[in-house]
Structure 1
Amino acid sequence: MATAPQWVASATANVSAKLFRGGLADLRPTPRALVDKGRTRSVYRFTPRGGGDPVLLVPPLAAPAFCFDLRRGCSLAGHLVERGRSVYLVDYGQVSFADRNLGLEHWVDDVLPRAVAAASRDAGGRPVHVVAWCLGGIMSLLVAADRQDLPIASLTTIAAPIDMSAIPLVAPIKPLTDIADSWLFTPAYRLLGGAPRALVKRAFQISAIDKVITKPYAVLRNLDDADYLAQLEAVDRFTDNMAAYPGRTFGQIYHRFFRANDLAHGELELGGRRIALRQVTVPTLVIAGDGDTIAPHRAVRHVVDILDRAPEVEFHTCPGGHLGVLAGRAARTTTWRHIDRFLDRHNPVR
């Protein structure tokens, strides 16, 4: 434990860095190069190129793609590159009002299959290991189930909720949404063209309202901890860069996931056909955060019982909330180690 003079010296240095040197977090992105581009799709390869099969990082909609590259020291992308892997990222960019008619089909039928194909092609035709967070994990599961012709070798989902009834935030307000849907919620998102980025940002903050309320006290208590303060800066930047949801996609998520809870049954009607998650036939790693209120343990773990045709389904609960389980300080020695071991087993770097 630091002595009082040591605490004061560290706190003074941190405050000085915050006020006069732009902050404590090293927000420089991991170097990358564009390898493919299309509507709401940019596929990047992080540099330097590594060995083994390519690893494709898949973010959710509305969240900035740098969730996988939050800051130096808390970047899953940078970590995988340092371990000698070939790492790719799909970035959806900013969604505008002009994209309001894009539905989940756009991402499941076009964006993600093309991203997988692009990563495989750039890596010389090798199979792709998909690592996805939140809704990115749900969409990746749907793609893997629906497109077994794609060169997907394995799948890792982090904080991807399948059973919405297991989310404590949902249960109290669902009866209200059932009553108010036809005259409030559906007309609102249709009028606005989706869920505006300001609303998405507020929803993310509300999911961790206890941390928002106690943040000033936590900052003062940890004023001598540069790494803690740097993480707060990086998370604030992440939250400030939330994007909007396209109207039709938001409507499908709201009606099919939130109200009908279709995914809990392992199937989803999409684009005129029914996609069954049990058609996933690749090794799968599933990770939940022990402090995640958006995707709690039970909501995430439910997929383990559904994927009965996968040759391997491995499940772990790791420290952290919704973002923390992916890019928190504890993720470096928990979540990332599980991903490392899983990839080492199915995708050894030579």
Structure 2
Amino acid sequence: MDLIPKPDQIVSAAANVAHKMLYGGLADLRPMPRTLIDEGTLREVYHYRPRGTVREHGDPVLLVTPLAAPALCFDLRRGCSVVEHFVTAGRPTYLVEYGEVSFANRNLGMEHWVDEVVPTAIREVSAHAGGRPVHVVGWSLGGIFALLTAADQPDLPIASLTTVGAPVDVTQVPMVAPIRPFLGLAGERAGLVTQAYRLLGGAPKPLVRRAFQLTSFNKLVTKPIAIAAKLDDADFLAQVEAVDRFTANMIAYPGRTFGQLYHRILKGNQLASGTVTMDDREISLADLRAPLLAFGGASDGIAPVGSVQPIVDLATGAAELRFEVVPGGHLGMLTGRAARSTTWRILDEWIAGHATPEVPVRPQSGKATRKAPAPKRSADAIGSNPARRYGSASSRSLAAKK
């Protein structure tokens, strides 16, 4: 609002406050409808169902969530949902998420995601979409896992790979750079961080949530002022509500994975060297063969442009490489209000430019053609059995919200 509000601004602000008080909020937080098509240990793969009369066409997109963050990052709210954007356009849209991480998962390392979760999701999505190659889109650590998977298994059916805010050189992260020289002083076994995550079995949800909030400390402090100044902007207020819900739903890190990320990525900065150590091998980013699109956020405090851009010099084997700087912070660049006309537009162009050519089926001349009957699907086929529609706790919760 202006310093001296105009009459129409006062009316809009009053209406927004009344709506929030009466209905609990301004944001449309309904999740996009989806169906579980595959599941395993900390792996749930979903297919988002087409809307109305929209028919799916083209290659599928697989959205890869990071650890600790909920899948809400891709389906934040109606109007600011990457999922809604793709589904409305008729793009076959899928997502892999990990469910609740518990103490029982403390022994799972990075290998679980790079060897099992992400590659299995890619294969399942390709099969579900009729054998078409998959456009993989990973945000934050999801982008790192997708990068390592694609570099390690170049035979996967990947049409293209996109990373959004995936930090490669952690020395360029403002919150990490000043403390990196001290991370190894106590020794790997004696370090307080090492002992803490082993005792807790990982990084608990409250700690993860607080860490995410602190990365945007300035916004956290000025948030009440910003809300007061924009009480007449319903879309801004709705976005604040949606981001608050996202932050409140952070998930824990498994203990061993957290330890590997701490020692190899944070302390060792292995990604910046171009090679990451797994239990039984090393993965080189130079072995990536798929076309790669990498996004950096202009105001990203978690993965600033300087930490993302080194991928350009490391992924030397990529069939094509494109780097883009877009407006927004770590979450905003993916699903902020400006992302509609920046990140999403570029992503649409990228996917269209790397689409699998459609091969029309032409009937033989002079012969009549008859449409083959649709094959019968067994009750056990994924997606055809109503009992599997909400086959997991997180998926069943969607049914209750509809």
Instruction: Classify the TM-score, shorter chain.
Output: over 0.9
Query: Displacement, 1:179?
Result: 2.7
Q: Identify the residue that residue 137 of structure 2 maps to in structure 1.
A: 131
2:302 pairs with 1:287:
no
Q: Identify the residue that residue 205 of structure 1 maps to in structure 2.
A: 213
Q: Distance in 2 between matches of 1:115 and 1:87?
A: 12
Q: Identify the residue that residue 345 of structure 2 maps to in structure 1.
A: 337
Q: Distance in 2 between matches of 1:283 and 1:171?
A: 30
Larger Rg: 2
Matches within 5 A, 1:196-345: 196-345=204-353
Alignment partner of 1:65 out of 66, 71, 75: 71
Say if 1:128 and 1:212 are closer, same or farther in 2 by CA, change over 3 A: same
Q: Identify the residue that residue 152 of structure 2 maps to in structure 1.
A: 146
Q: Distance in 2 between matches of 1:272 and 1:33?
A: 35
Cα deviation digits, residues 209-230 of structure 1 (max 9, x gap): 0000000000000000000000
Say if 1:180 and 1:224 are closer, same or farther in 2 by CA, change over 3 A: farther
Between Structure 1 and Structure 2, the one with more strand by share is 1
2:99 pairs with 1:93:
yes
Secondary structure of the structure 1 residue equivalent to 2:86: helix
Q: Distance in 1 between matches of 2:160 and 2:351?
A: 9
CA RMSD, Structure 1 to Structure 2 (Å): 1.3
Matches within 5 A, 1:34-183: 34-48=36-50, 50-180=56-186, 182-183=190-191
- Greater displacement, 220-229 / 79-88: 79-88
* Structure 1 counterpart of 2:341, one-letter code: T
Q: Distance in 2 between matches of 1:46 and 1:232?
A: 25
Q: Identify the residue that residue 17 of structure 1 maps to in structure 2.
A: 19
Q: Distance in 1 between matches of 2:128 and 2:36?
A: 11
Which runs of no fewer than 5 residues in structure 1 stay unpaired?
none
Secondary structure of the structure 2 residue equivalent to 1:51: coil
Secondary structure of the structure 1 residue equivalent to 2:309: helix
Secondary structure of the structure 1 residue equivalent to 2:60: strand
Q: Distance in 1 between matches of 2:172 and 2:357?
A: 38
* Structure 1 counterpart of 2:60, one-letter code: P
Q: Distance in 2 between matches of 1:314 and 1:342?
A: 9
* Structure 2 counterpart of 1:28, one-letter code: R
2:40 pairs with 1:32:
no
Q: Identify the residue that residue 371 of structure 2 maps to in structure 1.
A: none
CA contact (8 A) 1:284 1:314 kept: yes
Q: Distance in 2 between matches of 1:348 and 1:321?
A: 32
Secondary structure of the structure 1 residue equivalent to 2:226: helix
Query: Displacement, 1:348?
Result: 6.6
- Greater displacement, 77-86 / 225-234: 77-86
* Structure 2 counterpart of 1:335, one-letter code: T
Say if 1:180 and 1:231 are closer, same or farther in 2 by CA, change over 3 A: farther
- Greater displacement, 181-190 / 96-105: 181-190
CA contact (8 A) 2:216 2:301 kept: yes
CA contact (8 A) 2:133 2:356 kept: no
Say if 1:83 and 1:349 are closer, same or farther in 2 by CA, change over 3 A: farther
* Structure 1 counterpart of 2:49, one-letter code: T
Query: Displacement, 1:149?
Result: 1.8
Q: Aligned residues, how many?
A: 350
* Structure 2 counterpart of 1:148, one-letter code: P
* Structure 1 counterpart of 2:85, one-letter code: H
Query: Displacement, 1:349?
Result: 8.9
Secondary structure of the structure 2 residue equivalent to 1:69: coil
* Structure 2 counterpart of 1:150, one-letter code: L
Q: Distance in 1 between matches of 2:357 and 2:23?
A: 39
Q: TM-score, structure 1 length as denominator?
A: 0.98
* Structure 1 counterpart of 2:166, one-letter code: A
CA contact (8 A) 1:85 1:349 kept: no
Q: TM-score, structure 2 length as denominator?
A: 0.85
Q: Identify the residue that residue 201 of structure 2 maps to in structure 1.
A: 193
